[in-house]
A and B are shown apart, each in its own frame.
Chain A
Amino acid sequence: MISFNVIRWIVWKDFVTELRSRETISSMVFFALIVILIFSFSFSMDQQAAREVIAGIMWVAFAFTGIIGLGKSFSTELQNDCLEALQMVPEAKGAIYLGKVAANFAFMFVVEILLFPMFVILFNLEVVEEISLLLLVFFLATVGLSAIGTLFSALTVQIRAREVMLPILLLPLVVPVMIAAVEATKGALNGDPPALYEQWLELLAIYDVVFTVVSFWMFEFVMDS
């Protein structure tokens, strides 16, 4: 049985660490800002061109910042042998996974919410009506990224060259999330009728369910010691 206590404590622990050190979210936000800056230098865009590529730029920035956050999620546990302590939790390991997914999801979602106004201002976007649909896209895609990302964060933390291996292993596997998120965001930003892109939302939902279940199951084997 999954203990909700364990989930709650893990989330609480990560939040408190983050509140005290402010390391993860601040580094994610600044990295994303730099990515946005580089992109706006590389493509000189008017508003029309921005509409075409902005969804792609947005999700590239979100994915890279997400990877920074995910990498930190377990590498901070290496200090003071916290990882061994986590492995010794007598409850089912799935609880640790769910707690970590919740914490990672919260960090990534907060960063995305903080960054989105920057995109709106810097690229002169007009978003009025579609904001709830966009939030749904952000929510679904971030759940997918954090569900599979947390598993691979735990998997790569104990190997050599982990900073390199996490994106190398993760990015091919999240290709569907990236495609679906970019297409749905593009549809929402262009103000298309939702019927045109709801298939992408369905794909994201399916991906979320499938990979939460698979990663939850596989996490037992990662933490197995």
Chain B
Amino acid sequence: MTNFYIRWGGVCIVAIVLIVLTYNHYRDNLASLAPQQVKQEAPAGEVRVLGMVQGGTLETRAAGEATFSLLGESVSLPVHYEGPPPDNLRELKILVLIGTWTADTQVFEARDIGIVPNYGFIAGAYLLGLLPLALLLFAMTRRVSLLYEEIKASKLYEEE
């Protein structure tokens, strides 16, 4: 039985390592600020802002350049986008902007548009797929070792 628990301990450690690696890999994509936070805190450097393109404010200038307001819960943020031609820049669309906040002009200079993270579905699918299998396998192997011991312990053992 000790071997059995050591083996499953190893499986647990590998699983934890994988989870941590994956979480670290996606942590950058997960964190995003709200427009009101950007206005209040005025963060230096590049940030990700999550919000909705306010209706009636989108003006496209060239293929890769546009201005609009990004609406948060209450505050809206003027945005100047300049980067690769966006596929999913529409009014009333929820998206993530990557760029810097210039406090002098009070304009958010976006250089790229990220996808809204829906990692919940992915995490849910992987947990649903792997966790029951792992639990089932654990229960079965445990039962097999117990059965072996029980059969050995019961008297009158004859090899078949």
**Touch between A and B in complex, CB under 8 Å?**
no
Q: Using CB atoms and an 8 Å cutoff, list the residues of chain A in contact with chain B.
A: none
Interface, chain B (partner A; CB < 8 A):
none
